[in-house]
A and B are shown apart, each in its own frame.
Chain A
């Protein structure tokens, strides 16, 4: 759509979008955005279905959908042996595939792509720990949990915690604060105790939320 540009030929989309040298590609009312790190994160399946979206820049729904569609197509078209980075508009896209899911982050030109891969990997590890060998279905059925974990790990596009243990601890304690059904049926917990298998993650038994 647009790009900018010293010493380089560019096409700029006229009507509404303005671009800042080395800055955000996104249309901004103010030009203070020079340092946005991660701009958004998308999770989508091999079939191109969106599983999670986190936007750290304000955009209209229409724009979000357009970006998502374009990006999903581009990433899915890439061959498995290609590198995990791709220049798209004036952003860098860092993506990685885990089983049937693609994790895809948009970062700025100045950012370190390799550490972004580590951030993606860390998030996958957190999901894995929380759900117990996570699969796509876990994320579909518990998408809100996946968001909670993401928000406990990243804030405004920056990592807020570098220890896995601390993130999971915070999530579990917050989970306990949720008003769950099992609190109301606690006398039964004795009856059901024998049926809990350690293979199943805890939340499936105890954190059945009201929603």
Chain B
């Protein structure tokens, strides 16, 4: 009888929680299905739609059960809701139910309630504040597991309001003798400090005895708490420096003590605690001679005694290396650390190799020579299959390039560029350009390298590489014949890489006579006829692969050849064909060139004369423009500026205007004595080409021609006017002025890319105390790109005795109005200051 009576329950127990029959609950409603049963049902769904339908049905049942204030099954319903939440369905309507569960007396209810609160609630919803009181009660509960739940929830999701209210309770628990609560309270305190830093002082008394604790859980969490406090406040850091001997002792005990089964991980005693202590030592020893001295021995001991066959051992070694690198350690120890990383590089485990590369990258600036010794191993990592490792190896390889090893390293890196995934090509190409510019052993090598990059990764290089290369080629006079020959050959092979084709067209146009003359000292000269060269260029004009910009280059090149080649008639024909081109830009050129043939043929040779050597213009402002031969030569810079005299731009015939204008003749005459003035006109036009290549956007195309006439006239007839404009540049502005800290922006336009604005910030301090740890950060809208260079210092000296400067480069391809948000952090009179500001009043010249 008894058995019959109990049997439903029994079946339930035996068949596990998913049994179809459910126990009758005390509620009037039929009992809702169990969690496990629901999971099982949902897993039988074959389609997404079926699953959604099941869930909707269940949600409806759960909602109605919630409405009935059903206490018995609330826990079950919330648990089911949590499962649905994990599947990605909305479960917000369970938020209040979680709070009710937390308030319940039953442990199961509390356990699920707190779990639900952690999953469904966070500080963004005000509802979470309703929990504060429940958590407070539970923190004082008589059962440690209830207290533990409350601590865990507070430490996971407590908002700053909650932390303020409950910090006292946490502090009390941090002082108990119960290690189960103490360890949780310590991590809770970490969370409280992160949320409300000013509460830090409150926990200071409780930290006194934390390190004398035997329990590893408490020790571990205490070290975390101390680390947090030290990182947040310099005062705490100074205060806790006295703990170094104690920490060293604990660490020593850990590595010296024999096997302890409870904390052993493959032969190493409590690696978690060891890593944590090492990290705290790193913070305490940073920039402090005495503390560093005190930990030298133990670090050497850890570095030599740790078993490295398993991942745990390497984790500890890795942390040790980081600590050695950060503190003021002895040089012997640093070498030991780099050698550990060198060993890591040879490890079979990819993870270890990855961390080795990462940490070598961090130390390469300080210990360059030590890292240099592992160069070959690092270069080998370029061939790794793993992208994470490859990327790190690439970055590190570039950091290791110097004047001595450039040839070897470049060979490897170019090989890498050939074979790497597309995602690496852009970075790798710009890395090669930078390194080549810095350390090129010879001009020929430099040109070869850049050409190699253009042939292998042409479509990935940055836009400004074309003008850069052209400038480089122009400047190496003795290499002209060689370069044009190489480029011509490259063109014959492949005309799909646009940047390469553009450079090649430009060079053939410029040095076509050298090409056909077959005089090349560097290489076996090739024999080509003028017609062959013109065939190639015309091929570019009709090729589908060519972009409009490339066609422009090709047409100009053909035009230039009219003074270098004898087959002028053929050129005339080509040019006149494009006078009716559908592409406005091309048509404009063709019409202009046609006019040159017809009306101004006497000026043509002078106009199309070879370009003078361009001076290297670093990214300086227009004020530093060098003028040679009475011509503003680096008009690359000028061309980018808004026209000083704004006239309605008439794109189609600016050159005609220029040449047809009444005042043209005097202009030319005035400059004839110095140098054929027409070269200046051509220079401008050709540089117009360069800037066109800067971006396919129509903006440069319109601004350049319009600036030319104005420039040519002003620049040649009245140089002072030009200088005034150049010197005036973009007006500086004050971006921030508060609490004695003033930040001014000055502007320059980068060369040769007109889209880059170079902003220099000047921070000055008018108060009577230095501002230390000064960090300036900036963010810009998505359409811009931002590059922050290193600041000149992190201390803003008092009473305007000096300024901190930092350069920001903003790439603004769409010429939108510049907006910027800045964030400032610094320490002033011992307290940390943070401020945010938005800068919207940029002068229009800085972005137009």
- Closest chain B residue to A83, Cβ basis: B350
Contact between chains at A156 and B187 (CB < 8 Å): yes
How distant is the Cα of A41 from the Cα of B220 in the complex, in angstroms? 20
Contact with B along A159-184 (1 / 0, CB 8 A): 11111111000100110011111101
Which A residues from 186 to 204 make CB contacts under 8 A with B?
A: 188, 192, 195, 204
Question: Looking at the complex, which one of B190, B197, B387, B786 makes contact with A158 (CB distance below 8 Å)?
Answer: B190
Question: Looking at the complex, which one of B76, B82, B220 makes contact with A159 (CB distance below 8 Å)?
Answer: B220
CB distance from B429 to the nearest CB of A (A): 13
Count of chain A residues with a beta carbon within 8 Å of a chain B beta carbon:
89
Q: Within 8 Å CB of B786, what residues of A?
A: 5, 9-10, 12
B834 interfacial by beta-carbon distance below 8 Å: yes
Which B residues from 97 to 144 make CB contacts under 8 A with A?
A: 106-108, 111-112, 115, 118-119, 122-124, 143
How distant is the Cα of A165 from the Cα of B224 in the complex, in angstroms? 21
How distant is the Cα of A117 from the Cα of B123 in the complex, in angstroms? 29
CB distance from A200 to the nearest CB of B (A): 10
Q: Within 8 Å CB of A161, what residues of B?
A: 183, 216-217, 220
Q: Within 8 Å CB of B183, what residues of A?
A: 160-161
Q: Within 8 Å CB of A58, what residues of B?
A: 122-124, 157, 159
Interface centre among B43, B194, B834 (most CB of A within 10 A): B194
Contact between chains at A112 and B319 (CB < 8 Å): yes
CB distance from B326 to the nearest CB of A (A): 11
Q: Within 8 Å CB of A112, what residues of B?
A: 275, 279, 315, 318-319, 322
Q: Within 8 Å CB of A99, what residues of B?
A: none
Question: Looking at the complex, which one of B195, B217, B311 makes contact with A114 (CB distance below 8 Å)?
Answer: B311
Contact between chains at A170 and B148 (CB < 8 Å): yes
How distant is the Cα of A77 from the Cα of B510 in the complex, in angstroms? 49
A18 interfacial by beta-carbon distance below 8 Å: yes
Contact with A along B772-810 (1 / 0, CB 8 A): 000101011111011111100000000000000000000
- Closest chain B residue to A69, Cβ basis: B88
Q: Within 8 Å CB of A86, what residues of B?
A: 388
Contact between chains at A83 and B785 (CB < 8 Å): no
Contact between chains at A115 and B13 (CB < 8 Å): no
B637 interfacial by beta-carbon distance below 8 Å: no
Contact with B along A52-77 (1 / 0, CB 8 A): 11011011110001000000000000
Q: Within 8 Å CB of B34, what residues of A?
A: 211
Chain B residues touching A, range? 35 or more
Contact between chains at A84 and B217 (CB < 8 Å): no
Q: Within 8 Å CB of B82, what residues of A?
A: 143-144
B66 interfacial by beta-carbon distance below 8 Å: no
How distant is the Cα of A143 from the Cα of B82 in the complex, in angstroms? 9
Q: Within 8 Å CB of B787, what residues of A?
A: 5, 7-10
Q: Within 8 Å CB of A134, what residues of B?
A: none
A-B contact pairs, 17 of them (CB 8 A): A5-B788, A8-B787, A18-B823, A33-B194, A58-B122, A82-B387, A85-B354, A114-B351, A117-B351, A155-B221, A156-B156, A158-B190, A162-B217, A173-B145, A174-B107, A179-B106, A205-B13
Which residues of B pack against A, CB within 8 Å? 6, 9-10, 12-14, 16-17, 23, 34-36, 39-40, 43, 75-76, 79-80, 82-83, 86-88, 90, 106-108, 111-112, 115, 118-119, 122-124, 143, 145, 148, 151-152, 155-157, 159-160, 180, 183-184, 187-188, 190-191, 194-195, 197, 216-217, 220-221, 224, 228, 231-232, 262-263, 265, 270-273, 275, 279, 311-312, 314-315, 318-319, 322, 350-355, 385-389, 391, 775, 777, 779-783, 785-790, 821, 823, 825, 834, 836
Besides the contacts A12-B781, A83-B353, what 9 more A-B pairs have beta carbons closer than 8 Å?
A10-B785, A12-B779, A52-B86, A58-B124, A147-B115, A155-B188, A161-B183, A163-B216, A177-B143
Which residues of A pack against B, CB within 8 Å? 2, 4-14, 18-21, 30-36, 50-53, 55-56, 58-61, 65, 79, 81-87, 112-115, 117-119, 122, 140-141, 143-144, 147-148, 151-152, 155-156, 158-166, 170, 173-174, 177-182, 184-185, 188, 192, 195, 204-205, 208-211
